[in-house]
Structure 1
Amino acid sequence: MIKTTTLGTIATGALIVALAQPVYAQQAQSGAAEGIQDIVVTARRTEESLQTTPIAVTALTPEALTTAKVENVVDLQRTAPGLVIGRGSAGGDGIVFVAIRGQGNLQPILANDPAVATYVDGIYIPRPSTGMTDIQDIQRLEVLRGPQGTLFGRNTTGGAINIITNDPTDQLSGTFKAEYGNYDNLGAQANINVPLAEGLAIRLSGAINDREGYGDNPINNRDFSDNHSKFVRGKLKYDGNGWDLTLSGDWNRQTNHGQQIALWDFDRNSATINALGFAPGLTAGLLSRDNWWRNTAMGTSVPASIGALPPEIQSLYGVQPFNTLEVYGFSGTLNVDLGGLNLKSITGYRHSMNYGLSDTDGTAVPLLSTYAGSGSYYISQELQLSGNLTDSLSFIAGAYAGKESGYEFSRSQIFGGLIRDSNADVTNKTFGLFAQAYYELTPTLRAVGGFRYTWDTRNSVLHNAQVLGLPYDAPVAGTPTGINCTVDPTDPVTATTCNQAQNAKFNYPAWNAGLDWQASDNLFLYVATRGAAKAGGWNLRAGGLPAFAPEKVKDVEAGLKVDLFDRRLRFNTAVFHTWKDDNQAIVNSFVTGIGVTQYIQNNGKVRIWGMENEITAVPWEGMTLSINGSLQDGKYAKGSFSETQVVAGSGCTNPAGVVDGCVVDLSGLPLLQLPKKQLNVSATQKVPLGAGTLAVTGAWSYVGSQHFDAVRAADQQPDAIKAGYETENRLGRVPGYGIFNGRIAFQLDDPNVEIAIYGRNITNKKYLLRRFPDLYRTLGIAAAYVGQPATYGVETTFKF
C-alpha cells in the first residue's frame, strides 16, 4: 500500500510539473543535452506518436534492442513493465509462456489460444512455440498491455507483442555482424537492401548461431541447453502510383540436446518410488548449488517387454533428450489509396512444428520421460478500410478470418514401462468483424469507440492409446474400455481407428471506449475501458470432458504521458483494474474413467489491479537513463473457483453426483504467473573518443516471486494426502530474482563499424525460471528449470 501510494504521488507530481512546463522551458539554458527522441508506433493500426497514443505501450527501437541484447521474445521480459515470460515445459523447449498483467497461459495446447498474441508485420502467430523465433532486422518492437479486442487480428485478453521488420527501401545498404562468446558461442547475422528498379526493392536478412550447452551430463558427457539455429527472411516491396505491395517470407530452425531441467525434490514416502528402488538415484540427481547447471537425464529406458512392438516404435526407447523447432511463413500486404480512404489487405500463412523428448525427473532414474510436440499451419486474411469522414471524425473498419489445422501429441514413459500415447487432430476457425472511430470533441479532446464480434469453431479428434504401437482394439488390462483405445469413441474402434470427435462453436463481443486529452504540448492524459475474450477450446489429453468456454475480460485504464525539461525527462504511467469472468483455470482433479489428471475448465472470477511506470531521462550530455517497473496484485472472487476431489469413504455430496466427491473452494489460491513487483533499470553513457564514440551500458532487471502451480486439499483428505498438497503448493512458488547485464561498445565514425563486448548475468546468479511440481502428488517428483549462467562475448557490426 505504501509503495502504491508512493507511485501515485510520483505520477501526481509529474502532472503538476508538466502543467507548469512553459515556465521551466523558458528557463532552460541553450546548449542543453539533446532531448529524448519521439517514437512512431502502430499500436492502433495507424502511425502515431508514442506520446499521444492512449494505451499503455512500450516501444523499442533497433538501438534499444541492440543495447539490451534482445535476441528473441524471451529477452523482452527485462524491457517492459508488467511483462513476464516463462520458460520450461514438460513439452518442447521452444514453448514460451508470455503473460501481461497476470493474463497468461500455462497450458498452450493446440486447442487453447495464448492470452498474449504475437504479430509479425501484422500477421498473427497462433502458436507459442514461435515465441522463440529469432528477432532480426527489426524496425521497431511494441509491447501492448491490456486487452486488445477490437483492432488486432485475434482477440487477446492480456496484450500483444507487435514486431515490425524493416521494409525494403530505395537505398543500397547492408549490415554484417559477427559474434563469439563463451560456451563456444559463434554467430553471424547479415542483411542487405537492394533497389531493383524504380519503386521496386528487395531486402534479405539471415542469421546462424552455434553454441555449446550451458549444462552437462557427467554420466554420458553430453551437454544440454545448447543452441543450433538458422534464420532467413526475404521481403520484396513495390511502390506504385497510389498503391504498394510487400511480399515476405521467413524460415527459422532451432535444435538442441534438451532443456535445462533438474530434479528439485521428490516424495521420499512414495510407495512406488521405494518399491522400484528409485530413491538412491533420485537423491543423487537432486539439484544443488554445487551442480546448478548439471543433470543426469538419460531419456527413455528400454524395458524387456518391447519385443512385440513394431520396429519404428521400438526405436523410441533408449533415446536421449532433444528438441527441434521449425517455423516458417509467407505474407502479402497490399495498401491502396482510394482517394480519402485507405484499403489494406494482409494475407498470411504460418507453419509451426516443434517436438522433443524431455526427461522430466532430470535424473538417470527411468521415472518419467515424455515425447511431446505439435505441428500446424495457419492461414489468415484481414481487410481494413480507414480514413477521415470529416475533419473531426476518422475510422478504421474491417474483417478478419483465420483457419488453423494441425496435430498435437504427448507420449509418456512412466516408471520405465511402455510408452503411452495421447494425440489429437485439431481444426480451429475464426471470423471477426470490427470497427473503431475517433472523434475530436475539441482541438485537444478526443473520443474513441470500437466494437468487434467474433465467431469461433473448435473441432478436435482424439486418438489415445495405453500402449503406443499396439492395435487400438487389442485387449489391455486396467484401461476404462478394456482395450488399448482409451478415449470415449464416437466411431467403432478397430485396429487402426480410435476416434473421439469433439466439436464446439463460440461467439462473443469485444469493445473499446475512451477519452484522451492533450492538456499541453508536453502532457497527454487518457482514460479507457475495454473488453475482450480468449477463445474456448477442448482438453486434448483428458477426453470426455466438456469444452471450456471463452474467458471474458474487461478493464479500466487511466494514464498520463509527459515530457519535461526540454524533453530531457519522459514519464509515462498507467493504472488499471481488470475483471475476468469464466476464467480458464488449470485444475488437478479426478475424472471418472480417466483418473487423476490436469485439465482446463471455466471456474472463477478474477480481479487484477496495478500500476506501471516508465521513465526515460537524459540528465547530462551522452547519458540515457531508463527505468520501468510495475506493482500489481490480484485474487479470485470469493467462492467462485472450486474443484471436486474424490475422498474414499468421506460421504461427500456434490452437484455432479460424483461418489465421495468433495467440493473444494480454491478461490483463495494465488494467481499464476503474476509477480507483484517488477523493476528494470538501464543506464547508457556515450562519450566522444577520438574517431568515434564509446558507449557503456549497465542494466539490472528484477522480477518478483511467481506461482506456477497452486493447489489445495479437501478438509476430508487424510493427513498424508494433505501433506502432498501442501508440498506441491509450496514448490509451485518461484522466488524472485535480479540479474545484471552490461555492454561496452565503440562506434567508429568512418567506416561505420562497431566493436562491442557484452556480459549477461554477469554475477553468475543462480535463479529459477520455473518449478514444475504438478506431478508431485501423482508421481512424486518436482522438476526445476534453471536460468542461464554468466555469458560474455565480443561482437563486431559493419554497416554501409
Structure 2
Amino acid sequence: MAIRAHWSFAVYLGSAAVCGFTSVPADARTANVKLGTQPLDQALRSVARQTGTNILFTPESVRGLQASALEGTLSGPAAVTRLLRRSGLSFVTNSDDTILIRPISDAGPAALRTQKAVAPLNARTQSDSQIDGKSATPVQSTEGGLEEIVVTATRREERLQSVPTAVTAVTSKLIGATGIVDIRNLTAIVPGFQGGRNNGTFQPSVRGVGSTGVSVGDESNVATYIDGIYQPDPYSTLVDLVEVERVEVLRGPQGTVFGRNATGGLINVITPDPSFTPRGRVALRYGRMRNDANDYDLRGYVTGGLSSNLAADFAGMYRDNDGYIKDLVRGGYLGGARVVNLRSKFMFQPDDDVKIILSGDYANQKSRLNAWQPYQDNTAARTLPNVILPSGPWEASLSTRPKLDFERYNFALRTHFGLGSVNLETSTGYMHNKTYAATDSDASNIFLGQNLIHGEVESISQEVRLLSNSAGPLKWIVGGYAFHLKGAMDILLQSSNGLGTVQSTSLLPQIETTSYAGFAEGTYEAASNLFVTLGARYTTEEKKLEQVLNGADITRGGVSKDFDKFTYRAVVRYQLTDRTNIYASYGTGYKSGVFNASSTRTDAVGPETIKAIEIGLKSDPLPWLRTNLAAFRYDYQNLQVNARDPNGLTNFLQNAANAKLYGGEAEITIIPVPNLNLRSAISYLHAKYDKFELAQTYIPLPQGGNSSVTNDVSGKWMIRAPRLTISTGLDWSRDFRGGLFSITANILYSTKIYYDFLNLSKQKPYALASGQMSWEVPDSPLKLSLWGTNLANAKVFQQIRPGSLDTDVLYEQPRRVGIGAEFKF
C-alpha cells in the first residue's frame, strides 16, 4: 500500500521499505489483543496482524526496545499507544489510517501529532494529549482525516465511534478556541444540552430532562463527574474548566455503570494525569465588556516526573471580572466575580499493572452574580412611590446588594491494578462545599423581601470495579458503590409591606443521605460483528431531614424516607463495516426522592423515573466525513419540578405526573480540504407535559407581582427544552513562513425556550457567535490570540423565575472581546 508522507517521514522510507513496514489488508478494526513481553518490533507486527492496521517504522527507531505484556479489546491506535509507553516514540496516522512511528524529537511544529504513550486511568483523546511539552493537534493527515477519540462512557477505554450511545467529547482545544469558561457554556457546542443556572446552583438539562431544585441535598438528575468521581452538590458543580483533556457529555439515562441520579445523562470532566515528561504552559487573557468592564483570566499548568515511578502536576486559575450590570441604586456595577481554582495530582506507577493517583482541588469564588432584574417590569413594587425600574438589559435596581460566594475543596484517590485476565479499579471521593448568598426577592429598590442563605455540604463516596481484560467474545464489568452526604443550611427569609415593617422567617434544615448500589454490565459478541449488551443496577437509599422553623423543631427529631430501585439497560450493536456501526437500546433511569429542605414542608417528593428507547448510527464513511445520528423516545414519570411558595420567598419541589419526549440529533464533521474542519450539531426535541393537572402557576397581576394559581398544564411545552438548536463551527489553520495562523468560529442558534409551566415567560429565538484568531510565533513557544464571545451582543436570558413578588430574570454576559498570550515550556 502506498504511504503518503510528504514531511519528515520521507527520510525513513528507504530503510522502512526493507524491513520496517508491517502491511496487512486495510481492514482496521477493534480486536482482542493478547501479547506477552517481547521486543517492540515483534509486538508492533502482532498488533498489525490482530487489528488489521498498517504500521510503518524503521528498525533503528525500535532496536533494543522491549514491549510490556498487553491484553484487552483494543483498536490499532489504542494498542500502539500502550506499546509505546516510555519508549521515547510517538506516532501519527495518515489519511488511509496507516500508523507511522517516529522518535518524539522528530515532532516538528508543522507535524500532525498524536498522544504520547502514557495511558491514564481514564482514556484520553489523541488530539488532546501532550508530546514533548507541546499540545498535540487532531489526528488527521495533511490529506484530510478524522481524529480518533477514545472515551470512557462505558467505564473502559473505547473508541467514540464504537460506543453504542449518544456521547459528545469536547476537546481542550475546542474549549479554549470557543471561549468556554465553565461546563455551563457547553450549550454552545453539545446538541440537546442546556447549561442552566439559578443563583449559585448548576441546573443542566439534556434532551429536556433536568432538575430545577435549589434545596440542600437535592442532587441534579444530570450527574456531574470529575475524573469519574461523582460531584453531588449543585452549588459546587459549576466547574471551571482548568486544564482539561476533554469533557464527555452522555445523553440519555445512565442507569447502570454511572447510575446515580443520571436520569437525563451525565457530564464527565476529564483532567490530565501527571506526565513523566516535564512540560507546562502559562496563558493570560484580557477582555472588555460593556461599560468598560475588565475581564482578566490567568491559567497555568506544570507536570513532570519526581522519580522513575512518581509524577506530579499542578494547575491553577485566577479570574477577575468587573461588574457589567449597572447598579441603578448605589451606582457602580454588579455581576463581577473573582475566582481562584487550584488542582494537583500525584501519580505513583511502579509498573504497567499498578497505577495510584491522589488528587486535590480547591476553588473559591467571591461574586455579585445574582443581580436579578424584573422580567417585563413585573415586580410587586412597580406601583410604589420612588420605585426605580431598569430600562434595558444588564441593569439592576435592588434594595439588597447581592452576594454569591462559595468555597470548595475535593480530594480523590483512584487506583488501577492489572490482575491478569481482570483489572481492579477503585475510586474514592471527598467533597466539602460552603456557600453564602444574599438575594433580593422582588428585584426592586423597594424592600419587599430578601433571602440570606449559608450552606454547607460534605460528602464521601467509594466505588470498586472489576473489569474483564482478556481475549474472548465477552467483556464485562461488575462493581459496588457507597455514598454518604450531610448538608445543612441557615436560611433567613425577610419580607416587608414596603412601609418599613419587616417580618423574618428562619429555617435550619439538616439533610443526610446514605446510599448503596451494585451494578453489572456485559457485552457479548453473539455473532460476527453483532454485539449484545445487558446491564443492571440496584440502588437503595435512606434520606433524613431535620427542620427547625423559627427555633422550633417541626420534624420532632427528624423524619426519614427509604427509596430503592432496579434499573437496567439493553443494547444491540451491529458493525456494518469497519467504519460504520448501528445500534438500538432500551434503558431506564432513576432519580431518588428528596426532602423539601428549603421549605416549611417536611414531606418527601417521590422519585422520578424514565424509560428510554434510542437508535443510532455512527459512521466515518469517508476519511474526511463523520456522521453520528441518534433518535430517541422517553416516557418520563413523576418529574420533580421546582416552584416557589405562595409567600414568594422559599422554593419547594413537587411531582409532575409525566411527560412524553422524542427527538433526534446529528453531529457531522467534514474536512473538505487540508487543515479545514467544519462541524455541525443539530438537535430536534418535542417535549410536552403529558399529564400535569396540579401545577403551581403564576398569573401576572395588573399592579405587579403574580397570583399563585393551581392549573392543569397538560399539553404545555416543557421548561428549558428548545424545539431546535443548531451549532455550526469551523477550525482552519495554515503554516506560513511567519508562523502558524489559526481561526476558530462557532455560532449557536436556538428556538424559543419556556421558563414557566403556562409558557408565559420565554426566551425568544436567539443566536450566539464566538471566535478566535491565533498566531504561533515560529521557532518559539509563544502563541498570541484575538478572541470574542457573544459577538452580536445578543440579549439572552440565563434564567427566568416567576414568583408571587415578581418574575425576575438574569441575562447572559454581553459581548466580550480581548487578546491572549500563551507560553509553553
TM range (shorter): 0.7 to 0.9
Choose which of 382, 403, 413 in structure 2 pairs with 1:322: 403
Report the CA distance shift for 1:294/1:386 in structure 2 as closer, same or farther (over 3 A): same
TM-score of the pair, normalised by structure 1: 0.80
Matched, 1:789 2:818: no
Report the CA distance shift for 1:215/1:596 in structure 2 as closer, same or farther (over 3 A): closer
The answer on whether the counterparts of 2:568 and 2:588 sit within 8 Å (CA) in structure 1 is yes
Matched, 1:169 2:275: yes
Counterpart of 2:687 in structure 1: which amino acid?
G
The answer on whether the counterparts of 2:546 and 2:555 sit within 8 Å (CA) in structure 1 is no
Aligned to 2:735: 688
Determine the C-alpha separation between the residues in 1 that align with 2:150 and 2:616: 18
Secondary structure class of the residue paired with 1:197: coil
1:789 shift after superposition = 0.9
Aligned to 1:259: 370
Counterpart of 2:213 in structure 1: which amino acid?
Q
Aligned to 1:520: 577
Which range moves more in the overlay, 252-261 or 394-403?
Answer: 252-261
Determine the C-alpha separation between the residues in 2 that align with 1:710 and 1:45: 37
The answer on whether the counterparts of 2:178 and 2:745 sit within 8 Å (CA) in structure 1 is no
1:666 shift after superposition = 3.1
Determine the C-alpha separation between the residues in 1 that align with 2:722 and 2:384: 34
Greater strand content: 2
Aligned to 1:530: 587
The answer on whether the counterparts of 2:398 and 2:440 sit within 8 Å (CA) in structure 1 is yes
1:535 shift after superposition = 0.7
Choose which of 284, 298, 302 in structure 1 pairs with 2:399: 298
Specify every segment of 5 or more residues in structure 2 that has no aligned partner in the other structure, as ranges.
Answer: 1-94, 97-139, 699-707
Aligned to 1:655: none
Counterpart of 1:262 in structure 2: which amino acid?
Q
Determine the C-alpha separation between the residues in 2 that align with 1:536 and 1:250: 30
Choose which of 212, 226, 236 in structure 1 pairs with 2:322: 212
Choose which of 684, 687, 692 in structure 2 pairs with 1:631: 684
Determine the C-alpha separation between the residues in 2 that align with 1:83 and 1:734: 16
Percent identity, aligned pairs only? Answer: 27
Matched, 1:40 2:145: no
Determine the C-alpha separation between the residues in 2 that align with 1:522 and 1:199: 38
Aligned to 1:279: 384
Matched, 1:178 2:288: no
Counterpart of 1:254 in structure 2: which amino acid?
Q
Determine the C-alpha separation between the residues in 2 that align with 1:506 and 1:97: 23
What per-residue deviation string (whole Å, max 9, x for no partner) do you get for residues 433-458 of structure 1?
00000100123110000000000111
Determine the C-alpha separation between the residues in 2 that align with 1:442 and 1:369: 64
1:787 shift after superposition = 1.6
Determine the C-alpha separation between the residues in 2 that align with 1:370 and 1:244: 47
The answer on whether the counterparts of 2:300 and 2:316 sit within 8 Å (CA) in structure 1 is yes
Determine the C-alpha separation between the residues in 2 that align with 1:561 and 1:622: 23
The answer on whether the counterparts of 2:511 and 2:597 sit within 8 Å (CA) in structure 1 is no
Counterpart of 1:669 in structure 2: which amino acid?
K
Larger RCO: 1 or 2 (CA < 8 Å, sep 6+):
1
Aligned to 2:694: 642
Report the CA distance shift for 1:298/1:31 in structure 2 as closer, same or farther (over 3 A): closer
Counterpart of 1:175 in structure 2: which amino acid?
R
Aligned to 1:578: 634
Secondary structure class of the residue paired with 1:364: coil
1:411 shift after superposition = 2.0
Secondary structure class of the residue paired with 1:637: strand
Matched, 1:434 2:490: no
Report the CA distance shift for 1:368/1:737 in structure 2 as closer, same or farther (over 3 A): farther
The answer on whether the counterparts of 2:179 and 2:770 sit within 8 Å (CA) in structure 1 is no
Aligned to 2:770: 741
Aligned to 2:242: 136
Counterpart of 1:195 in structure 2: which amino acid?
G
Secondary structure class of the residue paired with 2:210: coil
Matched, 1:237 2:347: yes
Report the CA distance shift for 1:527/1:217 in structure 2 as closer, same or farther (over 3 A): same
1:547-558 matches, cutoff 5 A: 547-558=604-615
Aligned to 2:391: 288
Secondary structure class of the residue paired with 2:235: helix
What per-residue deviation string (whole Å, max 9, x for no partner) do you get for residues 728-785 of structure 1?
x51x222232111111001234222211010111121222222212x2xx32x21111
Matched, 1:197 2:253: no
1:503 shift after superposition = 0.6
Secondary structure class of the residue paired with 2:216: coil
Matched, 1:397 2:486: no
Determine the C-alpha separation between the residues in 1 that align with 2:402 and 2:680: 40
Aligned to 1:602: 655
Matched, 1:364 2:432: no
Determine the C-alpha separation between the residues in 2 that align with 1:226 and 1:663: 38
Aligned to 1:612: 665
Choose which of 488, 511, 535 in structure 2 pairs with 1:407: 488
The answer on whether the counterparts of 1:336 and 1:342 sit within 8 Å (CA) in structure 2 is yes
The answer on whether the counterparts of 2:451 and 2:649 sit within 8 Å (CA) in structure 1 is no
Determine the C-alpha separation between the residues in 1 that align with 2:539 and 2:234: 21
1:334-483 matches, cutoff 5 A: 334-388=415-469, 391-415=472-496, 417-465=502-550, 472=551
Aligned to 2:724: 677
1:155 shift after superposition = 3.4
1:672 shift after superposition = 1.6
What per-residue deviation string (whole Å, max 9, x for no partner) do you get for residues 513-563 of structure 1?
011111012111111111110010111233345312211111000000111
1:604 shift after superposition = 0.6
The answer on whether the counterparts of 1:325 and 1:353 sit within 8 Å (CA) in structure 2 is yes
Secondary structure class of the residue paired with 2:487: strand
Matched, 1:767 2:819: no
What per-residue deviation string (whole Å, max 9, x for no partner) do you get for residues 699-737 of structure 1?
1112222222214xxxxxxxxxxxxxxxxx51x222232
Counterpart of 1:693 in structure 2: which amino acid?
L
Report the CA distance shift for 1:608/1:281 in structure 2 as closer, same or farther (over 3 A): farther
Report the CA distance shift for 1:602/1:218 in structure 2 as closer, same or farther (over 3 A): closer
Secondary structure class of the residue paired with 2:237: helix
Matched, 1:708 2:755: yes
Secondary structure class of the residue paired with 1:51: helix
Determine the C-alpha separation between the residues in 2 that align with 1:419 and 1:596: 11
The size of the alignment, in residue pairs, is: 670
Counterpart of 2:641 in structure 1: which amino acid?
A
Secondary structure class of the residue paired with 2:186: helix
Determine the C-alpha separation between the residues in 2 that align with 1:79 and 1:339: 40
Determine the C-alpha separation between the residues in 1 that align with 2:385 and 2:801: 21
Determine the C-alpha separation between the residues in 2 that align with 1:595 and 1:161: 32
1:595 shift after superposition = 11
Secondary structure class of the residue paired with 2:219: coil
The answer on whether the counterparts of 2:211 and 2:641 sit within 8 Å (CA) in structure 1 is no
1:636 shift after superposition = 2.5
Counterpart of 1:122 in structure 2: which amino acid?
G
1:9-28 matches, cutoff 5 A: none
Secondary structure class of the residue paired with 1:418: strand
Choose which of 38, 49, 52 in structure 1 pairs with 2:162: 52
Counterpart of 2:367 in structure 1: which amino acid?
N
1:32 shift after superposition = 6.8
Secondary structure class of the residue paired with 1:251: strand
Report the CA distance shift for 1:785/1:644 in structure 2 as closer, same or farther (over 3 A): closer
Determine the C-alpha separation between the residues in 2 that align with 1:673 and 1:203: 39
Determine the C-alpha separation between the residues in 2 that align with 1:420 and 1:464: 7
The answer on whether the counterparts of 1:112 and 1:535 sit within 8 Å (CA) in structure 2 is no
Determine the C-alpha separation between the residues in 2 that align with 1:218 and 1:602: 39
Which range moves more in the overlay, 237-246 or 539-548?
Answer: 539-548
